[in-house]
């Protein structure tokens, strides 16, 4: 199954792309040779805001990666948003990754919590609790709690979230965007079966991070 609710270029990128193209065209008219760096910047903006369609696994209990990037943490931790012991999987996104954020599971949102904060390197451990972040606590149909947190980074200065408490999400559904490099933390039940390791490269909706335990 594919989920493709938006154009190939994320809607968040159109203003930036329009400005970059206007500058590049103006520079070309003024001096073609000097316009090359401006066109390179425009191409960077184009690749940063790409939002391609993705295959979505329908495996029962699958927790999909909410973002493209690299796994930087897999450990037992306290979920400060869901108030429970959990398994934490962190995915770090660099500026060359797709930055659309997608729901890792099906379920109903119980809480959306926004926290202003710092903008330290999102690769650091302290970023999870000190940086600007937006947490979604979701309950699945079989009463499993999954928390996923958008975390701003050193360059990222804007977290965008388009959902609220009470909304129902389906796996792979696009729910937000983080501009210019960041990370997403996923808190799972302690008995989840983790399928990734530190250092693994993952793709949003395509990679299965873990399998949730099946009740009954």
Q: Give the total residue count for the chain.
A: 216
The three-class DSSP label of residue 76 is strand
Cβ-count burial of 34 within 10 angstroms (0-12 exposed, 13-18 middle, 19+ buried)?
exposed
Place of tokens 């949003």: 204
| Residues 207 and 65: beta-carbon distance below 8 Å | yes
Instruction: Return the structure tokens found at 1.
Output: 């199954």
Is 182 tagged catalytic?
yes
Any idea what DSSP says for residue 131?
B
Instruction: Return the structure tokens found at 105.
Output: 């599971």
Query: Catalytic pick from 57, 182, 197, 203?
Result: 182
The residues annotated with a catalytic role in the active site are 182
């Amino acid at each position: 199954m594919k989920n493709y609710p938006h154009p190939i270029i994320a809607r968040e990128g159109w203003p930036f792309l329009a400005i970059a193209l206007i500058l590049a065209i103006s520079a070309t008219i003024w001096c073609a040779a000097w316009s090359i760096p401006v066109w390179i910047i425009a191409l960077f903006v184009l690749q940063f805001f790409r939002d391609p369609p993705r295959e979505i696994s329908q495996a029962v209990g699958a927790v999909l990666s909410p973002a493209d990037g690299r796994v930087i943490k897999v450990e037992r931790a306290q979920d400060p948003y869901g108030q429970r012991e959990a398994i934490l999987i962190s995915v770090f996104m660099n500026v060359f990754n797709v930055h659309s954020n997608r729901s890792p599971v099906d379920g109903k949102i119980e809480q959306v919590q926004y926290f202003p904060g710092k903008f330290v390197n999102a690769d650091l451990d302290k970023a999870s609790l000190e940086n600007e972040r937006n947490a979604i606590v979701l309950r699945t149909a079989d009463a499993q709690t999954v928390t996923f947190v958008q975390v701003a980074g050193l360059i990222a200065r804007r977290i965008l979230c388009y959902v609220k408490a009470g909304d129902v999400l389906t796996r792979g559904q696009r729910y937000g965007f983080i501009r210019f490099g960041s990370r997403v933390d996923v808190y799972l039940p302690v008995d989840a079966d983790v399928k990734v390791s530190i250092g693994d490269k993952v793709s949003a909706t395509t990679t299965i991070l873990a399998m949730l335990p099946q009740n009954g």
